[in-house]
Chain A
Amino acid sequence: MEARKPRLAVWKFASCDGCQLSLLDCEDELLAIAGAIDIGYFPEATRGEVKGVYDLSLVEGSVTTAHDVERIHEVRRRSKTLITIGACATSGGIQALRNFADVREYISIVYAHPEYIHTLETSTAISEHVPVDFELRGCPINKGQLVDVVSAFLAGRRPNTQAHSVCIQCKLKGNVCVMVAKAMPCLGPVTHEGCGALCPSYDRGCYGCFGPKETPNAPSLSGWFAGMGMDSKGLERIYRTFNANAEPFRKESERHDAQDRKG
């Protein structure tokens, strides 16, 4: 008898849909992946649904409502392996900019009837609510890495992703350093690999969309940026983008925010 194929679910929380779209953007691999697994739940791609427990859950998006706090626990209960995909799910995403602000003020800026809006004061990573088996970084994730993570799950091995900096990828690619040669501020030294050193390859500094690498030294890099003329407002902002709530970036931005307030 043929063994049962692993059953996949793809879940969405607050996000732009870009990371799960990466699965549909695997034009060359999609049908092969669909042949190796049963798609049990993936509303962006299919209206079919298999109820029950899923062998692999891919979770996109951050937790921003009370209902979603409950829902992520339900997803965890129904998932044997839970992998988060993308910056929203692994660090709260760009929505986490509210964590530094008054969310009521945000609501009043965007909506005429604040009373219709139900939202938490924070946007948080999935791992702040439930245990996560693996976190895939990026805003958006790299689809090559996604295919590797799904393959690793199917093969029962560990995903083949590294935690080193974008700088290593730049060196491997033979890029000239944009900070040294062109005096462009670049978050590459503190940013997690995965994008293929994309921004420096396009003549601009890295803006940190894969979040902090392991053991980043953000204060040291900030010193370099300050030497290049960046003020404390700019230093605060450069860490506050798509991974603003990832701890090393959050701490560094708060340090400059405090300095800025002192004047």
Chain B
Amino acid sequence: MTRKTVKVDVLARVEGEGALKVVLRDGKVESAEFNIFEPPRFFEAFLRGRHFVETPDIVARICGICPIAYQMSGVHALENLLGVKVEGPLRDLRRLIYCGEWIESHVLHIYMLHAPDFLGYDGGVQMARDHGDAVKRGLQLKKVGNEILQLLGGREIHPVNVRVGGFHRAPRKRELAPLAEKLKWAREAALETARWVATFDFPERERDYTFVTLRHPDEYPFNEGRIVSNKGLDISAAEYDAHFEETHVAHSTALHSHLRDGGGAYLTGPMARYNLAFEQLSALAKETAREIGLGESCRNPYRSIMVRAVETIYACDEALRVIENYEQPDRPFVPVEPRAGVGHAATEAPRGMLYHRYQIDDAGTIADAQIVPPTSQNQACLEEDLIDIIGGFSDLPHKELQYRCEQTVRNYDPCISCATHFLKLEIDRG
């Protein structure tokens, strides 16, 4: 029995700090640990004692890549607690701001973080030397997503305009008009993106995932819906804790989520949404998915880059729909009054479902908070991918195998600040 160890000191093009250890015995992966060693930041602890209205500003700081996801999950959980319903144009504006975040986050991942894996570059900047037009298209497309965030949120990172009950200021109709023109270009650019990524060489690997996502009767999921799976789960967000559990393992500062009662690991994010809500995509997104050969379901994690491209088309379409139908509301928010209780919500961050729960007292002070980010939820599934999939590549030369491991992690667009900057990879082929 030969024994080999492969080490990678830095897994790049992910967000946060972590490490990876893969043990191979006789060509099979015996174990895989995705180790998150991002220093703990204690958000759930210091939310205690804060006033609930501070929540959107504080939870935004969990992640610079997807602050809107944290803000949306937070405000929805608190509104559920306070018995407040945000409807009409304000609800639509929340879909619009989420579209902005999906576009900027998906396009960053597609062009700068994931595509270089398929084309053999260290990063997007290096890739730009040979694929300049593509990278420029990606950057401009990402910028349109960021412009939505700037207009609705004030800035793209840690936006200031979201509040419990709605927004501090609602945009005027004419402020949104210039965005519509940019989004029409963006939709074309997203279409070209989908055709471009479809030309990549994909490993033929599929797994029978348990997909978990939100389901809404009328729309592709963003902010609201029941939590469902392809294996029979169908619950409200308030029932989350009864069906999911988090465990703390020694090798990670991120908690691992599992379905209770032996339900095991599950996948949340673009592939889960796509497989369970394909019918709710826009006509152009569906048509493009068929054109590029993705079909109505996708179980190959490497093809998640194609799914992200299709979701980007959808986000452009949906943003355009909101802008075209928008009428400025009489007031930018629904007034809220504190009352004691517990509130739950889950929303769809670009990289997957994000669950929040808050308990507040009569004065509106937060007594307890629980936040389960997508990367925690996907961590166990990611380790299973490495075990199931990487085993099939164990004959690859060392460097290529190492590269394949990194790519397998990057399929998830893991957010390690919510979870990796340094991913140390060790492959033991004993």
A: residues with CB less than 8 A from B are 12-19, 21-22, 24-25, 27-28, 30-31, 34, 39, 42-49, 64-65, 68, 93-95, 97-98, 101, 103, 105-107, 109-113, 116-117, 119, 139-140, 195, 198-199, 201-204, 207, 209, 234, 237, 241-242
Q: Indicate if the CB atoms of A31 and B125 lie closer than 8 Å.
A: yes
Interface hits, B298-319 → A, CB 8 Å: none
Q: Which of B136-182 contact A (CB under 8 A)?
A: 136, 139-140, 142-143, 146, 154-158, 160-161, 163, 168-169
Chain B residues engaging chain A, CB cutoff 8 angstroms: 10-17, 38-46, 48, 50-51, 54, 57-58, 61-65, 67, 104, 108, 112, 122-126, 128, 132, 135-136, 139-140, 142-143, 146, 154-158, 160-161, 163, 168-169, 247-250, 253, 255, 332, 406, 415, 417, 421-422
Sample 13 A-B pairs with CB under 8 A, ordered by A number: A14-B41, A16-B62, A19-B157, A21-B157, A28-B143, A31-B139, A47-B11, A48-B123, A94-B46, A95-B42, A98-B42, A113-B248, A241-B57
Residues of B within 8 A of A204 (CB): 160-161, 163, 168-169
Q: Which of B46, B154, B417 contacts A101 (CB 8 A)?
A: B46
Q: Is the beta-carbon distance between A44 and B15 smaller than 8 angstroms?
A: yes
Most interface-central of B14, B45, B51, B132 (chain A CB within 10 A): B45
Q: Distance (Å) between the CB of A124 and the closest chain B CB?
A: 12
* Residue numbers in B under 8 Å from A34 (CB-CB): 125, 128
Nearest Cβ on chain B to A88's Cβ, whole angstroms: 9
Residue of B at shortest CB range from A100?
B46
Q: With both chains docked as a complex, state the minimum distance between the C-beta of A99 and any C-beta of chain B, in angstroms.
A: 11
B417 near A209: Cβ-Cβ < 8 Å: no
Distance (whole angstroms) from the CB of B95 to the closest CB of chain A: 19
A117 touches B160 (CB 8 A): no
Please indicate the chain A residues that have their CB under 8 angstroms from the CB of B54 in the complex. 237, 241
CA distance A241 to B157 in the complex (A): 16
**A237 adjacent to B50 (CB under 8 Å):** yes
Q: Please, which residues of chain A bring their CB within 8 A of the CB of B57?
A: 207, 241
With the chains together, A30 CA to B247 CA distance in Å?
A: 40
Contact A209 B158 (CB under 8 A): yes
Given contacts A48-B126, A203-B168, contact A139 B146 (CB under 8 A): no
Chain B nearest Cβ from A61, distance in angstroms: 9
Give every chain B residue within 8 A of A30 (Cβ-Cβ): 125, 139
Whole-angstrom distance between the alpha carbons of A20 and B128 in the complex?
19
Task: Please give, as numbers and ranges, the residues of chain A lying within 8 Å of B168 by CB-CB distance.
Answer: 199, 202-204
| B64 near A43: Cβ-Cβ < 8 Å | no
Closest residue of chain A to B420 (Cβ to Cβ) is A43
Tell me the smallest distance from the CB of A243 to a CB of chain B, in Å: 12
Minimum CB–CB distance from A110 to chain B (whole Å) comes to: 5
| B248 with A116: CB separation less than 8 A | yes
Assess whether B154 is in contact with A21, with CB atoms less than 8 Å apart: no
CA of A237 to CA of B365 in the docked complex: distance in angstroms?
12
Query: How many Å lie between the Cα of A119 and that of B253 in the bound state?
Result: 11
B40 and A117 form a contact (CB under 8 A): yes
Residues in A neighbouring B10, C-beta threshold 8 A: 43, 47, 49
Roughly how many angstroms separate A18 CA and B68 CA in the complex, as a whole number? 13
Cα–Cα, bound, A252→B374 (Å): 37
Complex contacts, A109 vs chain B, CB 8 Å: 42, 44-45, 48
With both beta carbons as reference points, the residue of chain B lying nearest to A47 in the complex is identified as: B12
Nearest CB to that of B128 among chain A residues?
A31
Q: State the CA gap A103–B46 with chains docked (Å).
A: 10
Cβ–Cβ < 8 Å partners of B135 in chain A:
31
Note all chain A residues with C-beta closer than 8 A to B63.
16-18
Residues of B contacting A97 in the complex (Cβ-Cβ under 8 angstroms):
42, 46
Cα distance A48–B121 in the bound complex, in angstroms? 9
> In whole angstroms, how far apart are the Cα atoms of A50 and B160 in the complex?
38
Give CA–CA (A258, B257) in the complex, Å.
40
Query: Interface centre among A12, A103, A202, by most B CB within 10 Å?
Result: A202
Which chain B residues lie closer than 8 Å to A112 at the CB level?
247-248, 255
Q: Is there an interface contact between A140 and B155, defined as CB atoms closer than 8 Å?
A: yes
Q: Which of A13, A45, A65, A111 has the most CB of B within 10 A?
A: A45
A25, B125: Cβ atoms closer than 8 Å: no
Is B46 a contact partner of A24 (Cβ separation < 8 A)?
no
Is A18 a contact of B154 with CB atoms below 8 Å? no
Residues of B within 8 A of A94 (CB): 41, 43, 46, 58, 61
Assuming the contacts A31-B125, A237-B54, asked whether A25 and B157 have C-beta atoms less than 8 A apart, the reply is yes
